[in-house]
Amino acid sequence: MADFSFADFQEAVSDCLIRHRSVLDVMTKFQEASSRVNRAVAKSVTSCGCTEVCAKRQKFPEHPEGTTLSQIKQFIDTHISGELCADCRDALENEVGRCLFYLVALCEITGVDFSEAVEREWESLRTLGVFNMS
């Protein structure tokens, strides 16, 4: 993986786009793949049991002024406990990879440079930081 680049990845994906070259195929395959990512997480809870979900309303500090980001993080719960076992991690990584494949395929078909999209997002993340995501 030493010489890995997103551009190389996009080129490799492009070479594989023979059977599923239609944008409609790629769009629906991407959606299916992203559902399978969620399914892999859900199965770690419901089938394997290596993780558990316990969700409740988030509690933010009443007076957030002067509160640091790391202090705020302590208040916000991911609602997941436990750790993925090796099998569930492997399954999730496979699904994430497939999802990424179809996302990059969609970029390729629509003429979007995936590495530029990543770069733009990276720049936005660095500029806006914590305010970037809702």
Out of 45, 48, 106, 112, the residue judged to bind Zn ion by CB under 5 A: 48
Residue 32 or 90: the one with the smaller Cβ distance to Zn ion is 90
Q: Which stretch binds Zn ion (CB under 5 A): 15-23, 64-72, 75-83, 84-92?
A: 84-92
- For 106-113, the CB contacts below 8 A with 24+ separation are 106/23, 106/26, 106/27, 106/30, 107/10, 108/10, 108/13, 108/14, 108/17, 109/17, 109/21, 109/23, 109/26, 110/23, 113/7, 113/10
Least separation in angstroms between CB 45 and Zn ion:
9
50 near Zn ion, rule: CB under 5 A: yes
Q: Which stretch binds Zn ion (CB under 5 A): 9-17, 37-45, 75-83, 109-117?
A: 37-45
> Coil, helix or strand for 55?
coil
Out of 13, 33, 88, 104, the residue judged to bind Zn ion by CB under 5 A: 88
Distance from C-alpha of 3 to C-alpha of 8, rounded to nearest angstrom:
9
Which residues make up the interface to Zn ion (CB under 5 A)?
44, 48, 50, 85, 88
